[in-house]
Amino acid sequence: MAFRLQRIRDPLHNLVEFRAEKFEDMLWRVLQTKPLQRLRRIKQLGFSDLVYPGATHSRFAHSVGTFHTARQLMRVIKQHLGKEFLPHQAQVALAASLVHDVGHGPFSHAFEAVGKKLGLALADHEHVSDVLIRDSEIADAFKTLGSGFANDVAAVIKRGRPGNMYDAVVSSQFDADRLDLHAA
């Protein structure tokens, strides 16, 4: 199977590339799924653009930026670990960085606060993310890396804290989500 190099022009990171190889082709297909594409219409910064007109970042742009940042962090880890680097763990973390916000709804965290008071399970973006990653077209795309890959990705996100150095790229005090410039 021939894979194609894909690129997204990002206003902050310039070109974010998805290389012509199996893993990144799978991530490109995940990016094309309805749950991820829906994030194009979800604002990252809520109503901030009413005060700061340039604050128009979407959860989609943030997800791409977080993946890009995670990949840079993973290169540092690979360089540091050398032969002890674990490619599967790195792939799980990179995939998790791309889909970490897939469960966000309109008005993001503001909606969650109201939804929790009303007892709405769908108001919890982490719960929705877990369901979408394990049982949607995202899971179907992840199957190219094995039947348990979607569960591995969902587990890293659900844990919410680093279990190892690779997980720390996704969830820690110094993770790709916090480092992504779209969140600023």
How many whole angstroms separate alpha carbon 77 and alpha carbon 143?
26
Question: Of the residues 100, 104, 125, 182, which is catalytic?
Answer: 125
How far from each other are the two terminal CA atoms of the chain, in whole angstroms?
39
Count Cβ neighbours within 10 Å for each residue of 103-119 and write b for 16 or more, e otherwise.
Answer: bbbeebeebbeebeeee
**φ, ψ at 166 (rounded to 5°):** -70, -45
Q: CA 169 → CA 14, 78, 135, 156, 175, distances in Å?
A: 21, 12, 24, 10, 5
125 catalytic? Reply is yes
3-state helix, strand, coil in the chain (%, to 5): 60, 5, 30
**SS3 assignment, position 163:** coil
Please classify residue 6 by burial: count the beta carbons closer than 10 Å to its beta carbon, then call 0-12 exposed, 13-18 middle and 19+ buried: middle
Q: Which two tokens stand for residue 123?
A: 């108001």
Residues that are catalytic: 125
